Structures are given as structure tokens and as C-alpha cells.
Amino acid sequence: MAACAYPTTRGYSRRTTLVTREDALCEVNTTPLIDVMLVLLVTLIISLPILTHAVKLDLPQAAPTPDQKPPQVIDLDIDFDGTVVWNGTPVDSMEQLERYFRAEASADAQPEIHLRADRRVKYDVVAKVLASAQRNRIKRMGFADTGEFEDYAARQPLTSSD
């Protein structure tokens, strides 16, 4: 609904003048429109959960898989002095380690390689072993027994030379 006001005075004078149609100020009162929109919004919010229906589907159940044997696990240890040990056997050189990686990568089912590095070993040795595994396309490799590093890090203060 439009409400029109007709000014009866112009400026600051108290003189009254004749008001024409062009001088009329017309405004739309938006308060009822906002009230109606809020009521519609609240109605929508309340009725929306009612309108959502759950559809029950009877999906086929998969048959239990036959017993799968666990993957072979290879323990790869790196001692504090940089000695690499493959399943309890010391590795003489990085070339021998590369041959081991190539042999395992060519197998039908790649084994899991659990890498355990001593916390005192230089990172350079660990990085070389990881790079060798990546070059030879070893896909299942992870760090094992990493909990001991948390204990060590908590006891050792960080220094600027580290």
C-alpha cells in the first residue's frame, strides 16, 4: 500500500502554499512485505524435514571373501651407523639393496616393507633408501615403530645447530 504525504510548507517559512500532484511524496511501506517473507521462511524451515522422505533400498549383500593370506612383510632396518639390514641380513652396498628392491617390485604381489630407522641415524642414509625404493617402484612401504621418536623428541631440547 502506498502512503502519500503532501507537504504544506516549503523551506523554513511558515507560509502555506498550494500543493500540486508533483510535490507529493510517495513511499511503499516494506514492513508488511518483510513480515510475510519471514513467515514464509519459517514455514519452509519447519516443513522441510517433513518433506524429506527416506527411501528404503534392499541392496544386495556381498558374499564373504575367501580367506586372504596376509601380505608378506619385509623388515628393513637402518642402524645408528648407517648399516642397512634386510630381514635380519646386513646389506653390503646400495647396489645390493637396489637388487633386493627390483626383485620385490617384479613380484606379483608386492610385499609390505616396514622401515625402521634408528633415531640417531643420519637422514641422508634414510633418504637414499627411500629414493632407491621409489626408483624401483616399491608401492607398499611405511615407517614402523615411530613411537620411539616421539619419546626422544620430548626429551631432547631443540637447538639451533640441529
- Could you tell me the domains of the chain? 2-50 (no CATH), 73-155 (3.30.420)
CA distance 119 to 38: 64
In terms of DSSP bridges, do strands 89-90 and 141-143 run parallel, antiparallel, or are they unpaired? unpaired
Residue 40, H or E segment:
helix 31-51
Joined together, the cell numbers standing for residue 53 give 522422505
63-86 burial: b if 16+ Cβ within 10 Å, else e: eeeeeeeeeeebebbbeeeeebeb
Least confident piece of the model among 32-36, 137-141, 148-152: 148-152
pLDDT of 159 higher than 60: no
Q: Per-residue pLDDT tens for 123-134?
A: 999 999 999 999
At residue 119 the predicted structure's pLDDT band, cuts being 50, 70 and 90, is: confident
- Give mean pLDDT, residues 65-92: 87
CA distance 1 to 31: 11
pTM: 0.50
